[in-house]
Amino acid sequence: MRRQCPFAPPAEYAQLREEAPLARVMLPSGRTAWVVTRHAEAQQVLADPRISTDITRPGFPALTPETPESARKRGRLHEGEFFNVDPPEHDVYRRMLIPEFSVKRVKAMRPGIQTVVDRLIDEMLSGGPPADLIESFGQPVPSMVICQLLGVAYEDHVFFQSRIRNRKMVTVAGETALARAAIAEIRAYLDDVVTRAEQEPGDNLVGRLVTERLATGELSHNALVGMIHQLLIAAHETTHNMIPLGVLTLLRHPGQLAELRADPALWPGAVDELLRYHSIVDGAGFARVAIEDIEIGGQLIRAGDGVFVLTASANHDERSFERPDDLDIHRGARNHLAFGYGVHQCLGQNLGRAWLEIAYETLFRRVPGLRAAVEVDDLPFKYDTAIFGMYEFPVAW
């Protein structure tokens, strides 16, 4: 079930949601799984400890055929990537990172984010229209800020962008050879970053984890590499795709954009509404497996059954959101599931919101004449990738 419109979830979701909160579906691998379509039931699944995120568990719903041995190998390869493990192991990793993404820490990072955003807008304006908003702004904003966060050289953001561009060759059917090669290169680079930090730790996320966690034996070298790799990919891919999508959406709602320009205090609510509205991480991004029998929405899910939470459907559930297919910056959509829910809710959501607020507010304030340089129908949208977005977005001003 793929999107057919850049401003709506897959059309089939509405029918599934109307018929039942859960539905049985066939996967490309030939196996079956449950999909969760409604908001309340999605929250239940995402919060229930009887539902696992562990990719090595029997029954975990891989989109492509996988043997138990290949699943175990994949689990070893991704050591430290705690999104895919359950409590209590998950909680150990998460507690190590909570201080790095606290409201206080993110507030302290805002001036640095603002500097990056202003620099990129200066460069885009100096180049003159037209420009590709993704190449000149959407993509470098997160990669440059992540370089600051990790304490790596500014020049390395070019490396991150090129490898992550290949890493995003992860389609709805699974990873390509190019994606696997890019993942290996990124991990090798981060392995070197951790090695250098072990020798000379700096005042940054990696340095603090080396000093406070690796040196004490709480973390292994490889687990720290995995943690940093997962944070890098998760932060970059979501922000890089949301920035241009949000810009395009607001350009199509000039009345609401005018309100935001007149009152910047509205931006936090607008960011949450854009996250709900687009729900760019969906389905495969919220794959789970039941480890005990559990009843959700009147449906029995057996131990070993695969489950996908359709967050794009849940975030458009009429039972939880009035007129869900309309963009409304005054909605107050903080209960959306774009960041997940429960113990696995996105650790970096404070930073993600800050990125988007600063990027949108600054861009629309400094480039008042910003407009799409092509018709929406001519824009190349990522209907074939696991995270929705655009490949290019030509703009003028």
- The DSSP result for 163-187, as a single string, is HHHHHT-EETTEE-HHHHHHHHHHH
Residue 189, domain member (yes or no): yes
Question: What domain range is 238 assigned to?
Answer: 12-396
CA angle 327, 328, 330 (to 5 degrees): 160
pLDDT at 113 over 50: yes
Question: Which DSSP string corresponds to 314-363?
Answer: HTT-TTTSSSTTS--TTS--TT-STT--GGGS-TTHHHHHHHHHHHHHHH
Instruction: Provide the β-strand partners of residue 296.
Output: 299
Confidence band of 173 (pLDDT split at 50, 70, 90): very low
Confidence band of 149 (pLDDT split at 50, 70, 90): confident
pLDDT at 169 over 50: no
Residue 357, domain member (yes or no): yes
- Give the residue-averaged pLDDT of 274-303: 95
Q: How many domains, the chain? A: 1
What CATH number did the domain enclosing 193 receive? 1.10.630.10
Residue 284, domain member (yes or no): yes
Residue 287, domain member (yes or no): yes
Give the mean pLDDT of the chain.
Answer: 90
Which residues, other chains included, contact 187 with Cβ-Cβ below 8 Å and sequence gap of 6+? 225, 226, 229
| Residue positions counted in the chain | 397
The whole-angstrom separation of Cα 104 and Cα 60 is 37
The whole-angstrom separation of Cα 51 and Cα 157 is 37
Residue 304, domain member (yes or no): yes
Strands 287-290, 131-132: pairing is unpaired
Residue 75: what pLDDT?
56
Look up residue 21 and give its DSSP letter.
Answer: S
Confidence band of 170 (pLDDT split at 50, 70, 90): very low
Residue 1, domain member (yes or no): no
